[in-house]
Amino acid sequence: MKLQSYVGGRWVEGSGEGRAFIDPTTGAELGRVDATGVDGAAALAFARETGGPALAALSFAERGALLKAVADVLVANRDAYGEIARKNSGNTVRDAAIDIDGGIGTLKFYARLAQSLGDAKTIVEPGQDTLARGGNFAARHIWTTRPGAAMQINAFNFPSWGLWEKVATAIVAGVPCVAKPASATAWLSYQMVADVIAAKVLPEGALSIVCGVGKDLVGALTAFDSLAFTGSAATGEMLRSDPAVLAAAPRVNIEADSINATILGPDAAPGTAVFDLAVREVVNALSVKAGQLCTNIRRVLVPAEHAGAFADAVSAKVSSFAVGDPADESVRVGPLVDLEQRDIALKGIEALKQEADVVCGGGIPDGVVGADAKAGAFLAPTLLSCADPAGAKAVHEIEVFGPCATVMPYRSVEDAVALAARGGGSLALSVFSSDGAVAKAATVGVAPFHGRVMVVDDEVGRDHTGHPIVMPMCVHGGPGRAGGGEELGSLRGLRMHMQRTAVQGSPTLLSALADDAAEAAL
């Protein structure tokens, strides 16, 4: 099987040998992905010239109907996607659901949101500012669709959610998409797009996909296009500094890897509900999707007097988890996405061991369920303990993208905030405390360094959605190392694809502009 690209309104097969994508449970090749000879510039031009006008002609409600139709197609084929996720991503049933249902759920959310905006094609912000004494000269801010294409480069860990969360906001804004999935897990993205294209639920040119390297895509971006990237900080830096990007100045949104953290408040002692809730969350961090979530907990900041008990509690649970073939219902932790990622993770763990001790795991499991431990990309859930986080460096800079986290003791809330900030900017942080003063101080202290903060206390209990889970209502992204980007967040997600313009004129003109626009604060 060789994955094709859908560009210019047709399926095109790359002319090269391409790269293999595998079953990470067995190491067996499943197919190849290649975009050699695919004309990226032509793909973007077709999206702009064909898909753009078709989407721009529709109202928000009509665009919402498109997203609903896409979601319906995906729901109808969901069982097949679960099988692909197991074979190509090593996902358990639970892991696959997070990715597949997360993508579908985001489409449905934005479908409803768009339909709530009605027949409008533009957005006006509420209120206006008087600019002259007589009151006959004022200003309002209006949002209109940018006449470009959205180039979207996605990460390997979420081939469904990563694809559709970017597509959803662009389509609502009226902008066509050219998606480029990560080659290692492109099969699921490809199959989903193929099903949507076959169903003919989108205007021609509204959605394209390039499976493979796509070398000339970034170079073909123009001033009114956008580039959204999810992946490593190194690749994000390379894209941001690309000469073509610097020259054309398209809008760029980077969501990069980050060293996310969780903080247990001083009140979160063994035997309390919040202590148990924090244990549960870190256990999930060491098992769900084999730890391969960009928002996953990597550093666990615990009051010094409770650090040992916390590490023991987590270790006792994850040490009992079955690692192996995700097709086996007893398996809690599947493989990493491929052998390359496993080897990178092992190298990272070795670096962390220079500053931290292994509590459990630390390498390839001695045995796995239903598979060969060395042939597959398996990594034992690993918990480390760093006695001196203030004097350490690697634990704040190296992200092991797998089931790995490090427990770190702290002396005061101010100390915990300072340690969290050592990550240099992160996507997410969680606080577990029922002490209101502690929760507030920690939240305000870490907020400048994080895109999202989740606070769990006795009142929230188990009702929270989870530290790593990105909700479409909330912004996703983070400062500094995390890329400095921001996406989703309900209507905030449209910022990337719409132009905010200050319109100065008479109250009569401003009223006329607002008559057929949707009013929303962005």
Number of helices (H), then strands (E), belonging to the chain: the values are 16, 26
Compute the distance between CA of residue 181 and CA of residue 203 in angstroms, rounded to an integer. Answer: 21
Out of 165, 255, 399, 487, which one is annotated catalytic? 255
Under a CB-based contact definition with an 8 Å cutoff, are residues 67 and 307 in contact? no
- Of 152, 202, 215, whose CA–CA distance to 181 is shortest? 152
- Of 349, 337, 279, whose CA–CA distance to 307 is shortest? 279
Kindly provide the residue ranges of all beta strands, DSSP E only, lying in 149-190, ordered along the sequence: 150-153, 177-180
Q: Using H for helix, E for strand and C for coil, what is the string for 380-433?
A: CCEEEECCCCCCCCHHHHCCCCCCEEEEEEECCHHHHHHHHHCCCCEEEEEEEC
Compute the distance between CA of residue 92 and CA of residue 333 in angstroms, rounded to an integer. Answer: 7
> Nearest 5°: CA angle at 405, between 473 and 83?
60
Where is 43: in which H helix or E strand?
Answer: helix 40-46
Compute the distance between CA of residue 147 and CA of residue 56 in angstroms, rounded to an integer. Answer: 9
DSSP 44-96: HHHIIIIIHHHHHTS-HHHHHHHHHHHHHHHHHTHHHHHHHHHHHH---HHHH
Please classify residue 36 by burial: count the beta carbons closer than 10 Å to its beta carbon, then call 0-12 exposed, 13-18 middle and 19+ buried.
Answer: middle
Tokens read off for 112 = 């409803």
Under a CB-based contact definition with an 8 Å cutoff, are residues 268 and 432 in contact? yes
Please classify residue 367 by burial: count the beta carbons closer than 10 Å to its beta carbon, then call 0-12 exposed, 13-18 middle and 19+ buried.
Answer: exposed
Q: Is position 386 annotated as part of the catalytic site? A: no
Please classify residue 341 by burial: count the beta carbons closer than 10 Å to its beta carbon, then call 0-12 exposed, 13-18 middle and 19+ buried.
Answer: buried
Compute the distance between CA of residue 347 and CA of residue 304 in angstroms, rounded to an integer. Answer: 28
Under a CB-based contact definition with an 8 Å cutoff, are residues 431 and 265 in contact? yes
Q: Is position 294 annotated as part of the catalytic site? A: yes
Tokens read off for 143 = 């949002």
Under a CB-based contact definition with an 8 Å cutoff, are residues 316 and 381 in contact? no
Q: How far apart are the first and last CA of the chain?
A: 45
Out of 165, 177, 211, 294, which one is annotated catalytic? 294
Would you please indicate which residues are annotated as catalytic (active-site) residues? 255, 294
